[in-house]
Structure 1
């Protein structure tokens, strides 16, 4: 069946999708506690249906756009950037969606601004309205983020004086800046890797996960990925030291980006540098950046110990699921080893991820950006915690350096499934909410199908 869509149809369909996301989020999103609607209320129910209706429209627009990108007359990277801006616009002033993490960012920024030790105490030590907005499971948990991000969050807290609406807008602007850096880096990385820049932008920046979680959710992963991508671009060029600095700053936002430093070294060696000087100068630039960022943030080096911040006991990471299943079995057998099951599986997962990173780097030595993307995917899948947006750690770079269309197809399928994985309020789902979410998605499919049939119907008086 031929789908009668062009770039304007894709723009309009995606814009309708993000508009429904923004409208539905007004009653079903991760709202401030004083604005929360009861989950069983009519307004919250309609909002949940609207959000999933919007997700289906947005995902369909993205898939149709992918057909255009692979077609005989693909849109230019500039045209795709305009599509991204258009789709993101309704989300700029929408409430947070799919997670309450942004409230943790604001609380930790306020703590850093007040010279509290964010690596020893959780937001409960701050108290007040901001601490009340943090999800209960994280109120007593120290910050797991690096000093570069906390310095930014602290500066934002000072600018907004702890006001929640202004803080939310500020964090969303930070996330948008990160997405903008991603969009700038993707075409350049694709050209260096021999890939199609338009296809890279489609999978790496227009991906529904980017709009749902990095823009609507305002996650700091956007800043991490933007700095990482820009650092890899610099490492390809004539300023490899700047590449090491930018990648280190990305790791000082969230630590997984530290895997980008070996990629910087590999890119320098490919450019003609000798291995030992490449390693030493990259390490020196990284160390100097770490010391400077930590001094500016004023948080000290407690962030190193905070890397072991505990994960949610209900996390659905593979190793957490296996650990809970093993623990339940050992409990039935009256074994005293039951409490060790989850930590043991987490250690096994980290070991497996380390092996996967080493093997991938060795096998794909000639394609360091692609190897880094696969390595970050392995860390996300095998690590002790996972969220749908963690897949973007690897998908971002796979989009830029994938060796062929099949890899992009599999990556797109993964993104499409994960786009449906979290409710807009960010909390656990009950059966009633699942029914509403499915209803919204089905409604979106029905509306799309009817629209396609109507577009293909012959017009009276016009030759078929």
Structure 2
């Protein structure tokens, strides 16, 4: 017989995974430097096994819930939001997971509070406990974040009196505000794009990358995406001026959101006639964005240094496609004795940015057929794939909008598969694994797969016969 998925059992399975992930993160997460354990110690090893055990359970629960969403009796939006809250609740009180960026956020917020120019100095200039938590590679690096986020980080650092544990909770609440805004606008945006809201919520809000990196990792991408989504909803309702303002605020968190101004300009152009309508719309959109930028910068007092800081050096060992090709080309050139190896990485990164520009131009020439939100989502995916820096949570820039606007088919399936793979790509500590850690992570995942296999054979499995579910 065919089988259907019980959403309630998926909810409980995901909760078990979330709890196990948090339990493992207590010894294997991105802990403060005073609490970091030697990776080979028994507690750290057990924590890593436990974390990956929970991670695989959580991804499996999300994947099976997706089958329920696509099934004949899909769960409603309220049930999906309940599931999201259930899975997210344990993560709210966990240590930072999968990245140490939250410590950088706190240090940057404290620098703003201390009136240190974050666009000219790195956390090393701050000194003290917060700066100690920032990885060495970023100690002397100015921040590329805009004044909207820096104001939020400064508030979190100041209100928590620069205490690390309280500050982490403060930054997680900022991220949670962004996730809440994402969840609030996603169904409305999906309806405007002709997509079922439950399908959009499953891919764009219950996505493991949202849980792991926006909530557990407290990344500022949550605030950026929430504001961007709100701006796109305003644009879809024929309110381009507020839309441009909201998208500008999103870009003043992180710069990639500025691409959303293209969507606003397209909507605004629809209100005009004549050959110059796109030019008029672009100028109006740009004017609102500039006024917003000037007003916010004046109110926060952080200055315009973020524009120059957008060229902040990328980690030399990041996983981006262009950086990887650059390192490979550089090694080959050095082996050939050409002396040109040092130019390989910068050249490939420039080629990647050029490819992004071409891809965005092609997509926006076809925006009438694709739809503005879908075209924007694909554009942000291009930035993620071809840009100079690669982090798993960057995939959410495009996935969030693809969830709201992509038609049912291959792209949605690829987006879901990529989300599942990327969810497994980073250790809870945020560092690259050594051989032992990789073995422990694989062991934890294998144990989870064994547990899932057993669940298929146990009475009352996650999948129940269709005839039973219909009773």
TM-score (norm 2): 0.95
**Which residue does 1:9 correspond to in 2?**
9
Name the CA distance, whole Å, in 2 between partners of 1:280 and 1:79: 43
Whether 1:431 aligns to 2:435 is yes
**Which residue does 1:227 correspond to in 2?**
227
Q: Runs ≥4 in structure 1, deviation > 6 angstroms? A: none
**Which residue does 1:334 correspond to in 2?**
337
The answer as to whether partners of 1:245 and 1:289 remain within 8 angstroms in 2 is yes
The answer as to whether partners of 2:97 and 2:213 remain within 8 angstroms in 1 is yes
**Which residue does 1:385 correspond to in 2?**
389
Name the CA distance, whole Å, in 2 between partners of 1:106 and 1:314: 24
The answer as to whether partners of 2:145 and 2:252 remain within 8 angstroms in 1 is yes
1:361 is matched with which residue: 355, 360, 364?
Answer: 364
Q: Deviations over 1:14-62 (max 9, x none)?
A: 1111111111100000000111111011111111111111111111111
Give how far 1:186 is off.
1.0
Q: What secondary structure does 1:308 align onto? A: coil
Q: Deviations over 1:89-136 (max 9, x none)?
A: 000010000000000000000001111010111000000100110011
Name the CA distance, whole Å, in 1 between partners of 2:50 and 2:2: 28
The answer as to whether partners of 1:370 and 1:401 remain within 8 angstroms in 2 is yes
Gaps of 5+ in 2: 466-471
**Which residue does 1:151 correspond to in 2?**
151
Which stretch shows the higher mean deviation, 28-37 or 364-373? 364-373
The answer as to whether partners of 2:21 and 2:54 remain within 8 angstroms in 1 is yes
Give how far 1:270 is off.
4.0
Name the CA distance, whole Å, in 1 between partners of 2:307 and 2:321: 25
Name the CA distance, whole Å, in 1 between partners of 2:78 and 2:270: 30
Gaps of 5+ in 1: 459-464
Which stretch shows the higher mean deviation, 346-355 or 289-298? 289-298
Q: Deviations over 1:188-221 (max 9, x none)?
A: 1111111111100000000001101111000000
Give how far 1:269 is off.
3.0
TM-score (norm 1): 0.96
The answer as to whether partners of 2:4 and 2:71 remain within 8 angstroms in 1 is no
Q: What secondary structure does 1:421 align onto? A: coil
Name the CA distance, whole Å, in 2 between partners of 1:241 and 1:132: 43
**Which residue does 2:132 correspond to in 1?**
132
**Which residue does 1:288 correspond to in 2?**
291
The answer as to whether partners of 1:251 and 1:258 remain within 8 angstroms in 2 is yes
Q: CA RMSD in A?
A: 1.5
Q: Deviations over 1:366-396 (max 9, x none)?
A: 4010000000000011011100111111000
2:350 is matched with which residue: 347, 352, 359?
Answer: 347
**Which residue does 1:461 correspond to in 2?**
none
The answer as to whether partners of 2:52 and 2:442 remain within 8 angstroms in 1 is yes
Give how far 1:175 is off.
0.7
Name the CA distance, whole Å, in 1 between partners of 2:455 and 2:5: 11
Paired residues for 1:35-434 under 5 Å: 35-270=35-270, 274-366=277-369, 367-434=371-438
The answer as to whether partners of 1:4 and 1:456 remain within 8 angstroms in 2 is no
Aligned length: 458
Give how far 1:168 is off.
0.2
Give how far 1:365 is off.
3.0
The answer as to whether partners of 2:269 and 2:280 remain within 8 angstroms in 1 is no
